[in-house]
Amino acid sequence: MIKTGNLKKVYRTDEVETTALNNVNLEIEAGEFVSVMGPSGCGKSTLLNILGLLDNPSDGTYEFNGNEVAKLSERQRAQFRKGNIGFVFQSFNLIDELTVYENVELPLLYLGTSTAERKERVEAALERTSIIHRKDHFPQQLSGGQQQRVAVARAVVASPKLILADEPTGNLDSTNGEEVMKLLTELNEAGTTIVMVTHSPADAEYSHRIIHLFDGHVVTENYMAKKYAHTPQAPD
């Protein structure tokens, strides 16, 4: 599903040049649950942004479902993201002025989905994340865990093939964090590919594979014990 070749990202200011990613070669198959770990500043979020088509790499190739997407314009990236990629952020990134229902509805609005179908899919997503009872509330009226469940509902409402989660439990207590991880696991079991950036070894254990980054390089890749029947096999 995802294949990167010598992926590189360099940030330049007037005086400083920082290499965030340096020749990252990565392959992720459909249905995988991959965790990306590493110390702060190692390039985890940069990698996630590039994989999520929020940003372009400075160099290298990036194939998404067989399409080369490394050099797409902002407009093309936005078009590609729609319906293909869902995002879950550490800080939830819900729009304060919209209700839970409206926040979840947003991706469908931009997809041009009909009103009736929107209603059906939003309610299904909210049911799936067990937050339907709060659909008319505003984000500020919810706990952190509830907000992250809304964010997950928003990420899945358009049935994307890939969900990118950037420290999804980083702002949550352990109970709420566990609930969110279970939710992501359920989504993965249902066939959605998940790439998650995390600092938490406990959260990483939910995934099939852990990629360790350091100074912009992939330093190790560890395959976890096979938890799920459909999960791709680790190479011998």
Give the shortest CB-95-to-other proteins separation in angstroms.
Answer: 5
Q: Which of 209, 217, 208, 203 is nearest to 167 (CA)?
A: 203
Q: Which of 58, 60, 10, 28 is nearest to 164 (CA)?
A: 28
Q: Which of 145, 223, 168, 225 is nearest to 48 (CA)?
A: 168
Give the shortest CB-167-to-other proteins separation in angstroms.
Answer: 12
Q: Which is nearer to other proteins, 2 or 210 (CB)?
A: 2
List the end-to-end C-alpha distance of the chain, in Å, as a whole number.
21
Burial grade of 205 (CB within 10 A; 0-12, 13-18, 19 or more): middle
Q: Which is nearer to other proteins, 35 or 84 (CB)?
A: 84
Burial grade of 168 (CB within 10 A; 0-12, 13-18, 19 or more): buried
Give the shortest CB-236-to-other proteins separation in angstroms.
Answer: 37
> Distance (Å, rounded) from C-alpha 16 to C-alpha 92?
31
> Distance (Å, rounded) from C-alpha 20 to C-alpha 87?
21
Q: Please report, as a single letter, which amino acid is at residue 12.
A: R
Q: Which is nearer to other proteins, 158 or 204 (CB)?
A: 158
Give the shortest CB-26-to-other proteins separation in angstroms.
Answer: 18
Give the residues lining the site for other proteins (CB under 8 A): 45, 49, 52, 54-55, 74-75, 78-79, 81-83, 87, 89, 91, 93-98, 102, 105-107, 109-111, 154, 158, 166
Give the shortest CB-225-to-other proteins separation in angstroms.
Answer: 33
Q: Which is nearer to other proteins, 95 or 219 (CB)?
A: 95
Q: Which is nearer to other proteins, 140 or 233 (CB)?
A: 140
